[in-house]
Homo-oligomer: A and B are copies of this chain.
């Protein structure tokens, strides 16, 4: 069947107007049952399936369908993580231009996630999906490829595998930039409060930190894992500040943990940035609302979500959908970083 089969072809074969085809396929009144049957038969003969028809009809209406996003994190955490919400708002900004919607589901684990994508795709509830929170050798990628579900991965192709459509952030280059900046300020003992260590981008940052601190001849940098929550960030900060060799600068894997760190420093009577430099990651509005304001790796998370979604529509519409990097995060120095005080 030709991809170019249109409502007009079906109308012509059934001997009716295109409007009648639309009414019949859309389950609207105004078409007699025998005519409706003839239209459906004509559609079937041309290989014009209800779903294909629905998709085309949908294009003509305000609702052009949905794309899917499944997040395997606890529901409560979703409300507290600025990254996700900015990412979703970026997805929505592209969907709004196409009058499309986001089908969102929170699940407990990755197996459940694959099952949800399968169900959505088989029921034609989504035209494609966005995959987030990539792990190394992520089992979801071959599973969704087998389904034939158009998928764009928000994650590094080194994790996604070749042949996968991916949009990613260069976390290696970003870590290098922030460490070079801190080293230039005079910091020799840098630590990091990282995210979930099973996530691919967390692992990339951990490896990059080890590589660049070694290259620059700095002390080996500790990376403590967390679940990305402010509470876990505060706990990890207390561990680092209470350690025998207290770091003079700490890099945080998101904003909310860096906000928590400002409060922990105050709790310890430490001045930020004199006694402790703090660097946040993502640069949401939060970084400009603390005192001192937070130096951050600024990442247009909203734009990242939008780029992933544009790439997904390229794939859905069968346009070339090249994988590619999102702009690399850039360092925005603010009040929370400075040369370390002397010993």
Q: Which residues of A contact B (CB under 8 A)?
A: 24-27, 33-34, 36-41, 43-45, 47, 49-54, 57-58, 61-63, 66, 75-82, 84-90, 92-93, 95-96, 101-108, 115-116, 119-120, 122-125, 229-231, 234, 256, 259-260, 262-263, 266-267, 284-286, 288-291, 293, 301-302
Structural contact, B24 and A44, CB atoms closer than 8 A: yes
Main secondary structure of the interface of A (DSSP, over half): helix
Do the beta carbons of A105 and B96 come within 8 Å of each other?
yes
Contact A80/B75 with A92-B106, A263-B291 known, Cβ cut-off 8 Å: no
Contacts of A90 in B (CB 8 A): 75
Q: How far is the CB of A234 from chain B (nearest CB, A)?
A: 7
* Chain B residues whose C-beta falls within 8 Å of the C-beta of A40 in the assembled complex: 37, 40-41, 43-44, 50
Query: How long is the Cα–Cα vector from A24 to B230 in the complex, in angstroms?
Result: 51
Chain B neighbourhood of A285, CB < 8 A: 80, 229-231, 256
In the complex where A62-B115, A79-B85, A120-B63 touch, is A101 in contact with B101 (Cβ < 8 A)? no
CB atoms of B116 and A62 under 8 A apart: yes
User: Is A76 touching B302 in the complex (CB atoms < 8 A)?
Assistant: yes
